[in-house]
Amino acid sequence: MVAEKYVLALDQGTTSSRAIIFDKNGSVVSVANQEFPQIYPKPGWVEHDPIDILESQISVAKKAMRQADIEADQIVAIGITNQRETTIVWDKKTGKPIHNAIVWQCRRTADICEKLKQSEWGEKIKKKTGLVVDAYFSATKLKWILDNVPGAREKAKAGELLFGTVDSWLIWNLTGGKIHVTDFSNASRTMLFNIHNLKWDEELLELLEIPRQMLPEVLPSSYIYGYTVKEIFGVQIPIGSDAGDQQAALFGQLCCEPGMVKNTYGTGCFLLMNTGKTAVSSESGLLTTIAWSLDGKEVCYALEGSVFIAGAAIQWLRDGLRIIAKASDTEYMANSVADSGGIYFVPAFVGLGAPYWDMFARGTIVGITRGITREHIVRATLESIAYQTRDVLEAMEKDSKMKINTLRVDGGASVNNFLMQFQADILGIPVERPKVNETTALGAAYLAGLAVGFWENMDQIKQQWQLDKKFEPTLPEKERERLYAGWKKAVSRAMRWAEE
């Protein structure tokens, strides 16, 4: 009997490393998950130990195989997807990181970014990289390491140090220190990559004093970069894909045509819209980014917007206000009242992103009367996630001049039926939730499977997308717009609150 074959996706996220094995139908066969320590050296600073990242990732990969009784030689390819922007610098000879990974959330370079943004570089960087200058991206994190670790810049100039986002770090280690690469989607999050000519930008490297030789080679997202060394899994397995996690989720949702959008409901929300061959420049503060490249000649672009606080607002109900015991309680509690009782909750705990961009906005609940109960507050919290999503989708439609016809959803809170129905109602378009919720890993698996011929082509893959539930809008337009107008009014009350 010929043993069944599978693809193994490694999903290296911000709080945990995950490994998911998929069969040829794109169904999940095994999942393993391991959290690893978050390091907060100072307020606003966030680091990871790159060794924790690597070891937890390898350990879950083995566990996923063990759990499902799958041998390493049944894995036809490994797909890599990762938390983006997080920056690692390591010694080429010893393989040792010279500093902890500086995580995407880390704000330590906010001052450098503020200065850059105010200068002529603000616009220039946006034009070249598609990004708004911010400490979020890798460029200033890498500069910080070179400026602050004694001797680092000299060593980097001498070609002794390597830089990589988490994907590069994993691939380099899995291939025994042979292959130093990244893909177009990850490169586009560094703020060092020109998304139009598809090259590392010499002018930006010079500006930030980053030696060119420490950067990885940029390759397609579906590609055989190399093979894992025998010592890890006992056999050599081809590494067939590399993509940033949000882009991988867009691919996993099979949002392959221009105008298709996915929303991942996590701590915050990440919304990505496929814009095809056009790098749409945003007027609303959205990011222009590379979704993927299948062949290295052409890239597919995306517009990206995020909602800072989504699931985090539900966590606050649980841990801060303590009016729910667990996140899943929110669904029946929200359904137990006819509406939010006229209140709005704007969860602007850390300011507001697109399209408001107000870092002084703060969380606000408006419209409270004597009859308001905790059920109303719970309902208003879920509704706020849907309203914020509409804010970003409207900005996407405006910038791209494309009409969004459906929203595909994934992530933790997408299981909440109340939220998904309200989302459809407030957008006035259907919301589609797929059967496979592991869309990020699935995207990485598809890209890897395509590289090794496990799946022949996109058509074969597209047939695999299966709907779990479609939420049709039922709210009359007038009511929808009345509710949304109330949200806008509430946002105006939350804005600029913390301004001196």
Residue type, 95: G
**CA distance linking residue 478 with residue 480, whole number of Å:** 5
Which of 13, 238, 347, 355 touches ligand G3P (CB under 6 A)?
A: 13
Nearer to ligand G3P, 79 or 244 (CB): 244
315 annotated ligand-binding residue = yes
**CA distance linking residue 275 with residue 288, whole number of Å:** 9
Q: Is residue 190 part of the contact set for ligand G3P (CB under 6 A)? A: no
Q: HSE-up of 234 (CA within 13 Å, CB side)?
A: 9
For the residues of 264-325, what is the DSSP string, one character each? EESSSEEEEEEEET--PPPSSSPEEEEEE-SSSS--EEEEEEEES-SHHHHHHHHHTS---S
Beta bridge mates, 239 = 78, 226
Q: Is residue 246 part of the contact set for ligand G3P (CB under 6 A)? A: yes
Q: Is residue 164 part of the contact set for ligand G3P (CB under 6 A)? A: no
What six digits make up the tokens of 25?
């139908």
Please check whether residue 270 is in contact with residue 121, taking contact to mean a CB–CB distance below 8 angstroms.
no
Measured CA distances, 220 to 21, 80, 83, 290 (Å): 22, 13, 18, 11
**CA distance linking residue 168 with residue 349, whole number of Å:** 33
CB of 47 to ligand G3P, least distance (A): 15
One symbol per residue from 265 to 304: x for binding ligand G3P (CB under 6 A), - otherwise; what is it? -x--------------------------------------
CB of 440 to ligand G3P, least distance (A): 7
Which of 52, 85, 242, 410 touches ligand G3P (CB under 6 A)?
A: 85
Residues contacting ligand G3P: total by CB under 6 A:
10
Stretch that binds ligand G3P, among 83-91, 114-122, 149-157, 487-495 (CB under 6 A): 83-91
CB of 278 to ligand G3P, least distance (A): 22
Q: Is residue 245 part of the contact set for ligand G3P (CB under 6 A)? A: yes
Nearer to ligand G3P, 17 or 340 (CB): 17
Cβ-in-10-Å burial (0-12, 13-18, 19+) of 124 comes to middle
18 annotated ligand-binding residue = yes
Q: Is residue 130 part of the contact set for ligand G3P (CB under 6 A)? A: no
For the residues of 112-125, what is the DSSP string, one character each? HHHHHHHSTHHHHH
**CA distance linking residue 183 with residue 79, whole number of Å:** 12
For 127-154, b where at least 16 C-beta lie within 10 A, e where not — what string?
A: ebbbbbbbbbbbbbbbbbbbeeeeebbe
245 annotated ligand-binding residue = yes
Nearer to ligand G3P, 266 or 443 (CB): 266
Please check whether residue 364 is in contact with residue 490, taking contact to mean a CB–CB distance below 8 angstroms.
yes
Nearer to ligand G3P, 83 or 222 (CB): 83
Q: Is residue 83 part of the contact set for ligand G3P (CB under 6 A)? A: yes
Beta bridge mates, 243 = 81
**CA distance linking residue 495 with residue 500, whole number of Å:** 13
- Residue 496 CB coordination number (10 Å): 12
Coil, helix or strand at residue 222 = strand
Residue type, 333: M
425 annotated ligand-binding residue = no
228 annotated ligand-binding residue = no
CB of 401 to ligand G3P, least distance (A): 26
**CA distance linking residue 51 with residue 18, whole number of Å:** 15
Q: Is residue 52 part of the contact set for ligand G3P (CB under 6 A)? A: no
Nearer to ligand G3P, 327 or 372 (CB): 327
Stretch that binds ligand G3P, among 46-54, 59-67, 82-90, 484-492 (CB under 6 A): 82-90
Nearer to ligand G3P, 76 or 385 (CB): 385
- Residue 217 CB coordination number (10 Å): 12
**CA distance linking residue 80 with residue 165, whole number of Å:** 12
CB of 103 to ligand G3P, least distance (A): 9
CB of 85 to ligand G3P, least distance (A): 5
Stretch that binds ligand G3P, among 26-34, 56-64, 242-250, 460-468 (CB under 6 A): 242-250
136 annotated ligand-binding residue = yes
Stretch that binds ligand G3P, among 80-88, 275-283, 285-293, 360-368 (CB under 6 A): 80-88
Stretch that binds ligand G3P, among 112-120, 166-174, 240-248, 271-279 (CB under 6 A): 240-248
412 annotated ligand-binding residue = yes
Which of 104, 163, 301, 316 touches ligand G3P (CB under 6 A)?
A: 104
Which of 84, 180, 408, 433 touches ligand G3P (CB under 6 A)?
A: 84
CB of 186 to ligand G3P, least distance (A): 9
What is the footprint of ligand G3P within residues 378-407 (CB under 6 A)? none
Q: Is residue 14 part of the contact set for ligand G3P (CB under 6 A)? A: yes
57 annotated ligand-binding residue = no
15 annotated ligand-binding residue = yes
Q: How far is CA 394 from the centre of its chain?
A: 20
Q: Site residues (CB under 6 A) for ligand G3P?
A: 13-14, 83-85, 104, 244-246, 266
Annotated binding site: 14-16, 18, 84-85, 136, 245-246, 267, 311, 315, 412, 416
